[in-house]
Amino acid sequence: MDEQAPSPDGAAGAGPDRPNAEELIGRVGRGDQAAFAALYDRFAGSVLGVIARVVRNPAYAEEVAQEVLLEVWQKAPRYAEARGSAQSWVLTIAHRRAVDRVRSEQAAQQRDQREQALAERPYDEVSEATVARLEQERVRHCLGSLTDLQRQSVTMAYYAGHTYREVAELLRTPLGTVKTRLRDGLIRLRDCLGVAR
């Protein structure tokens, strides 16, 4: 006697000896492990095929296929035959899971690339410290080229944080004179440091 060919809904050989896929899912929903084994045998190849076309990585495809069949076991009580065939239901789960895996892998790759780009940003503490030290030496040198009153005024206003009026009081110098000395001192510093106007 010839074996019956599988039908599109996965009901190959359905009959008294071999239940169709919808009946199997109903039994799986009630915790029937033998029915799940039969359902697994019936759909494992199709599930893997759908996933492999989306995922394109054989190892990931097999992993996702196992996840899909576990989900079928867990969600079988919620299957409603009125909403579609058992095969459509199972393969929809497979396709959704495969797309989720691809998106997850892409997101992980993008995250890794961002982290790698951040890690590869050039930063050299030694060269940063050297540049800072050289700039401090230039500023010290240029401060040395100012008159005493200019140097004192600039140092008190810009390094000690005093207002012009406080600088005038501390130096016992008229405010107008302090402002003039500060202006002249800053111009000389700018020229010495080579800062563009």
Segment among 7-11, 91-95, 150-154 with least mean pLDDT: 7-11
Which phi and psi angles does 60 have, rounded to 5°? -65, -40
With 0.85 as the threshold, say if the pTM is over it. no
pLDDT in tens, 40-61: 999 999 999 999 999 988 998 9
**Lowest-pLDDT range of 34-38, 153-157, 163-167, 191-195:** 191-195
Query: Span 19-32, mean pLDDT?
Result: 92
**CA 81 distance to own-chain centroid:** 40
Least confident span in 4-8, 115-119, 126-130? 4-8
Q: What angle do CA 189, 195, 197 make, to 5 degrees?
A: 105
**Whose CA is closest to 10, among 85, 84, 61?**
85
pLDDT at site 136: 82
Q: How confident is the model at residue 95 (pLDDT cuts 50, 70, 90)?
A: very high
Percent of the chain past pLDDT 90, that is, above it, reads 37
What's the confidence (pLDDT) of residue 15? Answer: 52
Give residues with Cβ within 8 angstroms of 173, minimum separation 6: 149, 181
Domains of the chain from N-terminus onward: 21-119 (1.10.1740.10), 125-193 (1.10.10.10)
pLDDT at residue 68 is higher than 80: yes
CA–CA dist 39, 43 (Å, integer): 6
What's residue 16's pLDDT? 55
Which residue is listed with tokens 């599930």? Answer: 47
What are the pLDDT digits (tens) for 124-167?
666 777 777 888 888 888 888 888 888 888 888 877 888 888 88
